[in-house]
Amino acid sequence: MTAGTPAPWDALPIRDELRGQSPYGAPQLDVPVRLNTNENPYPLPEPIVRRIAERVTEAARDLNRYPDRDAVELRTELARYLTRTGGHTVTTEQVWAANGSNEVLQQLLQAFGGPGRTALGFDPSYSMHALLARGTGTGWISAPRGADFRIDLDGARAAIAAHRPDVVFVTSPNNPTGTAVAAETVLALYEAAQAAGPALVVVDEAYGEFSHRPSLLPLIEGRPLLVISRTMSKAFGAAGLRLGYLAADPAVVGAVQLVRLPYHLSAVTQATALAALEHTDTLLGYVGKLKSERDRLVSELRAAGCEVTESDANFVQFGRFEDSHKTWQALLEQGVLVRDNGVPGWLRVTAGTPAENDAFLAAVRAVRHRLGNGQPPGPDPDRTKESNR
C-alpha cells in the first residue's frame, strides 16, 4: 500500500464485529421517479416553511448559548401530539427526543444493551436494529417470521425463552413488509420477555400514522419496560429534520438521559420541530392522501398480477419475482427507483404522489410483460439484510 492511499477497513484496528460490514444506505439515483426510501413526497407547505424560518431566526439570536439540553418545550408538545392522536394521555416526563428515531433506538441499546447483553428482533425487519445492536456491542438474535411475514407467536415465545434477550424489537408497521402487529401479540411478547428477563420491549412505530390500526401507545400504561418509538421523518414530511422520539415510563426516559450526549438536540432542530408541530392538522392531511394512494397501489398491483403483502405503512411490498434484483433493474431502466431489500422474490415501493404512482404502475405492467410472470417457490423469511445498505 503506497503512502497516502486510504487503508481498507479490514486493515484498520477496528472492532472485530465491524469487519466486513457495510454501512446502512439506499441508492439515490438521478431518475424521474424515486420511490425507494419511504419519504413523504409532499414538500412542506409555504406557511409552515415561513413559520420554521421565524422560529429558527429566533433561535439563531441565542446560538452563542447551548440549547435546552432536556428539550422540555419540544417534549411537552410531542406529549400533546401523542395524547391527541395516540388514544392515551402522555406527559412530558414520559417523552424523550433525539436526532431521528435511530438515535432514540441507539440510546436505548446503550442504556439497556451493550457488551454481554443481547437484543432480539423478528426478521425480515428494519435492518438498522441489528446494525445499532452491533454498534453498541450488543449481541443480535434474529428470530424468523412466518411465511406470511407476520410474527409467529409460538415461535416468538420459544425464541425469547431460549435466548432470554435484554431488549426485544417489535416493528409495527413492519419495514419492509408493511405488516402491522396486533395489540394482543405485543402484550404476549411483553409477558414472555418479562418472564424470561426482565427485558425492554421496544415497539418501533416509525410508520404508525399510516396504519389502519390504532397506535399501540396505550399499551405503555402499567408496563414500565414497554417503549413506543416514533419519528417526524415520515408522517410530518420532515426526513431532513432528523427528529425522533419515544414514549415510555419516566424511569426509562431517565435511564436514556444517562447515555445521551450533552446538548444532543440543537436549538435549530428544536425550533424546526416545534414549528412543524404547530401545523399538525395540515401535515396529517397529507398522511390521509398517502394512505389512499397506498391502498390504490395495493389494489392495482394485484390487478396487474403481483402478489402484495398487506400494508399499514406508506409503502408496499410486492412480488413475487424469480429474480427480484433483475426486476429492480428493469424498473430502474423505466425511470422508476424502488427498493431491493434483499427479501428473495420481493421489492418495496414507497407511496408517492398520484403522478409518481401512475408512472410506477405503468412501469410494473411493462416490466411484467417483458420479463414474464414466473414466481419462485416462496419467500425466505430468514434473509434479513437489506441490500445496498
Task: Please give, one letter per residue, the 3-state secondary structure of the chain.
Answer: CCCCCCCCHHHCCCCHHHCCCCCCCCCCCCCCEECCCCCCCCCCCHHHHHHHHHHHHHHHCCCCCCCCCCCHHHHHHHHHHHHHHCCCCCCHHHEEEECHHHHHHHHHHHHHCCCCCEEEEEECCCCHHHHHHHHCCCEEEEEECCCCCCCCHHHHHHHHHHHCCCEEEEECCCCCCCCCCCHHHHHHHHHHHHHHCCCEEEEECCCHHHCCCCCCHHHHCCCCCEEEEEECCCCCCCCCCCCEEEECCHHHHHHHHCCCCCCCCCHHHHHHHHHHHCCHHHHHHHHHHHHHHHHHHHHHHHHCCCEECCCCCCEEEEECCCCHHHHHHHHHHCCEECECCCCCCEEEEECCCHHHHHHHHHHHHHHHHHHCCCCCCCCCCCCCCCCCC
Rounded distance between C-alpha atoms, residue 97 and residue 74, angstroms: 8
Per-residue model confidence as pLDDT tens digits over 362-375: 999 999 877 765 44
Per-residue model confidence as pLDDT tens digits over 305-363: 999 999 999 999 999 999 999 999 999 999 999 999 889 999 999 999 999 999 999 99
pLDDT band for 377, please (50, 70, 90 cuts).
Answer: very low
Per-residue model confidence as pLDDT tens digits over 75-127: 999 999 999 999 999 999 999 999 999 999 999 999 999 999 999 999 999 99
- Indicate the average pLDDT of the chain: 92
pLDDT of residue 386: 40
pLDDT of residue 258: 97
Long-range CB pairs of 155-159 (<8 Å, 24+ gap) are 156/122, 156/189, 156/192, 157/188, 157/189, 157/192, 159/120
Q: How many CA atoms lie within 13 A of 44 on its CB side?
A: 25
**C-alpha separations of 389 from 173, 219, 223 in Å:** 21, 33, 34
pLDDT of residue 349: 98
Q: Hey, what's the torsion of the CAs at 244, 384, 203, 236, to 10 degrees?
A: 30
How much is the average pLDDT of 229-237? 97
Spell out the domains of the chain, with CATH numbers in brackets: 22-44+282-371 (3.90.1150.10), 46-278 (3.40.640.10)
pLDDT of residue 1: 44
How much is the average pLDDT of 63-67? 98
pLDDT of residue 114: 97
pLDDT at 186 over 60: yes
pLDDT band for 32, please (50, 70, 90 cuts).
Answer: very high
pLDDT of residue 379: 38
Compute and round to an integer the Cα radius of gyration of the chain. 21
pLDDT at 210 over 60: yes
pLDDT of residue 3: 53
How much is the average pLDDT of 149-172? 97
pLDDT of residue 371: 72
- pLDDT over 90 for what percent of the chain? 86
pLDDT of residue 297: 98
pLDDT band for 5, please (50, 70, 90 cuts).
Answer: low
CB 147 within 8 A of CB 135: no
pLDDT of residue 4: 56
* Beta carbons within 8 Å of 14's beta carbon, 6+ residues apart: none
**How many C-beta atoms lie closer than 10 Å to residue 315's C-beta?**
29
Name the residue among 303, 345, 283 with its Cα closest to residue 320. Answer: 345
pLDDT at 145 over 50: yes
Rounded distance between C-alpha atoms, residue 309 and residue 345, angstroms: 12
